[in-house]
Each structure stands twice: as C-alpha cells, then as structure tokens.
Amino acid sequence: MKLLIADETIDYDGSQIGSLWAYTRFRLQDDSIVCFRGKCNVTPDHMIDLEDRVMDEKIESPDMIHFIVEHFDMTSLKLAYARQRLLAAIAAEVFKDRGIIVKRSGDDLFYDGGKLSISIASASPVSHKIHFGINVRCDEYMSLEKMGITDPEAIMAVIGERYSAEYDDIEMSLRKSRPLGVYL
C-alpha cells in the first residue's frame, strides 16, 4: 500500500473520512495511508460514530497529527475495525520504542490517564476507511506537547511507515499459508 506524508497542513473536518478523498486530493489510486498535521473540528454532518452525534460531542483540537487509511480490498466493517485496532496498537508501539509508555484501550491511546487520541472506522460501497488522530496540543485532553514530545511529525512518519509495512507483510504472509483441515 502507498504511504503519503502530506507536505502541507490539512485541517481535519470529517470530510476526509469520505471514500476517495486520497484520490481526489492526491490522485492516489492505491490502498493508502495519508499522514498530515492540522486542526481537528468535525461537524455533525461528518460524524460517523452515532454516539458522538447522539451525545452532541465536540470533536476538536487545535493541533493534531492525522492518519487516513483507505482499503479497497473488501468493504467489510469487521476488517475495517480489526485494522483500526491494529493501527492504534502500532501507534502505541512507536511510543514504546521511544521509552514512553502509552496505554491502548480499544481504539484510544492514553498517557498518564489522559486521552491522547480519537479514531473512527467505517465503510462505503467502494472502500473502508480509518481516521486516527493524536493531539499535538490540547487544553482539555492529553497531548504530545504535555508529554514533552517536540517532533510530532517524526512520530507521524514512523506510525505511517509501520502501518504500511505491516499491511504489506500481511499480504505476503497470507500468500504462503495452506488451507486448514478440520479436527475430527
């Protein structure tokens, strides 16, 4: 799959979770993970998690690193969510490699009890997508700044590379596994 690190700032308003954003914005015609930095301010129209809508949650942050994943191989929600959790786990591993212990709980990351991230996944008839965002600065919640991390874009790039490499490795692995028999 294709990894793209955006040169420019992009503010996440929820429209980027729409299918084919990576094509429309960057002409990507691959499965892709696009990484960028920018504000977060999701309008209710773009809320995918109905819980947020029902609860009238605000989803906003003045500065985040964002990951937009799009896969076209199957439109299954089950696959979308398994991959979302894997992306969250990879992000936590990247912090661990720097000696920083971030706790993953489902699709959320926590540091020192404070929520560091937001995420959603879903499907359209043509693709499934994941948004994952980590606060760079944030008053209300935990942020990289509060954690003393001063190179958010380096973190961003490593998470993007790891997810992309993980996907490619999976695609290789499943092409050397024979079918299962049945235990009788």
- Interactions with its own copies, residue window 66-95 (CB under 8 A): 72-83, 85-86, 89-90, 92-93
**53 part of the interface to its own copies, by CB under 8 A:** yes
Question: Which DSSP category does 46 fall into?
Answer: G
Per the structure block, which two tokens stand in for 3? 């990894």
Q: Find the binder of its own copies among 61, 117, 127, 135 (CB under 8 A).
A: 127
- Our CA dihedral for 45, 50, 55, 56, rounded to 10 degrees, sits at 0
Query: By C-beta, is 79 or 145 nearer to its own copies?
Result: 79
Helix (H, G, I), strand (E, B) or coil at 88: helix
Contact call for residue 147 and its own copies (CB under 8 A): no
Task: Tell whether residue 137 is a contact of its own copies (CB under 8 A).
Answer: no
Q: What is the distance between the terminal CA atoms of the chain, rounded to a whole angstrom?
A: 39
Of 108 and 153, nearer to its own copies (C-beta) is: 108
